[in-house]
Amino acid sequence: MEKRDTFGSRLGFLLATIGFSVGVGTLWRFPYICGEYGGGLFLLTYIFFMIVIGVPLFTAEVSLGMASRRTPVAAYQTLSGKKQWGIVGYFNMLCIILVAGYTIPVYGWIINYIIATPLGTFKGMSSAEVADYFVDMSGNFWLVLGMIAINCVLTALVVRKNLQSGIEKIAKILLPTLAVVMIVIAVMGLFQPGAAEGVKFLFKPDFSKFSGEAVLTALGQTFFSLGIGMAVALVFGSYQKEGELNATKNSMIISCAVIFVAILSGLMIFPMVTALGLEMQAGPGLTFMVMPNVFNAIPGGVVWGTLFYIAFFIAAFSSGIAGWEAIIGFLMDRFSLSRGKALIGTVVLVLAIGIPATLSDSLFNLFDMLTNNVFLTVGSFFMCIFVGWIWGIDKFVATVGIEDKPVLKKIMGFVIRYLAPIVIVVFALSLFGII
């Protein structure tokens, strides 16, 4: 096995981890559910869960990598002294492999729109014609496969290098660029006539839309946003330098950054959507069917549209390279492979899932359901049990350097041992309609 890489700096770790968390799911899902589930009330609930649940659990997952200096399977086995706990690690890895695989069609769609938008493809199209374009494009297997190939090559060019020369270096370029582009588009959108309605949709408290379902949705978005249970935090924790004691602070910074980007994504999209009287949507329908109509209707739309899709690609790409890096790290650690061989293995795994997902909407939706409803919840639950009761809170707080902070120690211990497992169980039961 090659010598374990480490991040060159704390900033590198933060940006790479934020890059993973800030994927297209955050950009196209959060704004809509925020508006649909109570606006400002939902936002406050989401922020509450991100800080109270997200920070402790993200810190816990990172700590497993920091303490073991290994990737998921070996980390659980080493810290417990029992091989059977490696099953949780395999569960985590299966989750990130599925995510890295089934989402690659989305990367292909975005690349296609980056090419099509500046060429003026959507100019003069009606809403129905834009919708038809997306349906035809996403159903054209060979076209999408070509775009996927471009994305895979770009990703491979980054992760084939060591940690500091690859993902850390590119994250320091991509994340600031993403922030600048999003802010520019958001400011432009806010100056559109009627943009205030989009801001109200996002932030105005609406008690009629806020319910128990909204609370559970905010909780699910917390796990989804931070990728808790996907192994990336654990792998990246194992790449931290010896003696790093900023895990809790880092988790807080990452959570706040994700919240900021989620809010910014809403300001980037919905003021323009409402200004033009277009339908509020979430997911691919918003990104690929609604937004081209927005850019058709505003001055300089080709430029703004191109920037918009570049921003989406940056978000997707930064998340993708982090997922690939986690898989590569696992293969290197588990099977004593070189980085080059681990990269080949990662490509095979990703394409083995991604190509079927490209061919079948049913498979795409199945993989999406499994990762979000099963693997994230189960993986997070057993991670809490492991850190809280098997490995132990005392070892956890020693690893993250909070032994001398008794109040924080008690809060983290309570959340990890009791609160988080309970809310995860409640969330899981609600997903399957049991409660």
Q: DSSP letter string over 155-182?
A: HHHHHTS-TIIIIIHHHHHHHHHHHHHH
**Burial grade of 36 (CB within 10 A; 0-12, 13-18, 19 or more):** middle
- For 68, phi and psi rounded to 5 degrees? -90, -25
Whether the predicted pLDDT of 281 surpasses 70: no
Structural element, H or E, at residue 291: helix 291-297
Over residues 144-157, the pLDDT tens digits come to 999 999 999 999 99
Length of the chain in terms of residues written: 435
Mean pLDDT of the chain: 91
Over residues 25-71, the pLDDT tens digits come to 777 788 878 888 988 899 999 999 999 999 999 999 999 999 999 99
Residue 365 CA to its chain's centroid (Å): 17
Whether the predicted pLDDT of 260 surpasses 50: yes
What tokens were used for 64?
Answer: 């497993």
Nearest to 307 by CA among 163, 114, 83: 114
What tokens were used for 376?
Answer: 């994230």
C-alpha triplet 20, 22, 26: angle, nearest 5°: 130
Which DSSP category does 84 fall into? G
SS3 193: coil
Over residues 316-363, the pLDDT tens digits come to 999 999 999 999 999 999 999 999 999 999 999 999 999 999 999 999
Averaged pLDDT for residues 186-200:
85
Please, which pLDDT band fits residue 435 given cuts at 50, 70 and 90? confident
Q: What percent of the chain has pLDDT over 70?
A: 98
Q: Domain segments of the chain: what residues?
A: 10-431
Over residues 138-185, the pLDDT tens digits come to 999 999 999 999 999 999 999 999 888 999 999 999 999 999 999 998
pLDDT at 356: 96
Query: Which ranges constitute the DSSP H helices of 276-335?
Result: 284, 291-297, 301-335
Please, which pLDDT band fits residue 195 given cuts at 50, 70 and 90? confident
Which DSSP category does 8 fall into? S
Q: What percent of the chain has pLDDT over 90?
A: 68
Q: Do 394 and 141 form a contact (C-beta atoms < 8 A)?
A: no
Q: Do 321 and 159 form a contact (C-beta atoms < 8 A)?
A: yes
pLDDT at 424: 94
Whether the predicted pLDDT of 1 surpasses 50: no
Whether the predicted pLDDT of 3 surpasses 70: no
Would residue 274 be called left, alpha or beta, if left means φ above 0 and alpha means ψ between -120 and 50 degrees?
Answer: alpha
What tokens were used for 71?
Answer: 């990737």
Structural element, H or E, at residue 413: helix 406-414
pLDDT at 305: 93
Whether the predicted pLDDT of 220 surpasses 80: yes
Q: Do 74 and 86 form a contact (C-beta atoms < 8 A)?
A: yes
Q: How far apart are CA 5 and CA 238, in angstroms?
A: 9
pLDDT at 282: 61
Q: Do 309 and 119 form a contact (C-beta atoms < 8 A)?
A: no
Q: How far apart are CA 364 and CA 357, in angstroms?
A: 5
Please, which pLDDT band fits residue 105 given cuts at 50, 70 and 90? very high
Q: How far apart are CA 138 and CA 145, in angstroms?
A: 10
- The greatest distance separating any two alpha carbons of the chain, rounded to the nearest whole angstrom, comes to 65
Domain 10-431 fold is Hydantoin permease (1.10.4160)
Averaged pLDDT for residues 126-133:
92
Q: Do 237 and 68 form a contact (C-beta atoms < 8 A)?
A: no
Whether the predicted pLDDT of 85 surpasses 90: yes
pLDDT at 244: 78
SS3 241: coil
pLDDT at 191: 85
Over residues 378-423, the pLDDT tens digits come to 999 999 999 999 999 999 999 999 999 999 999 999 999 999 999 9
Q: Count CB-CB contacts under 10 A for residue 187.
A: 11
Nearest to 306 by CA among 285, 284, 291: 291
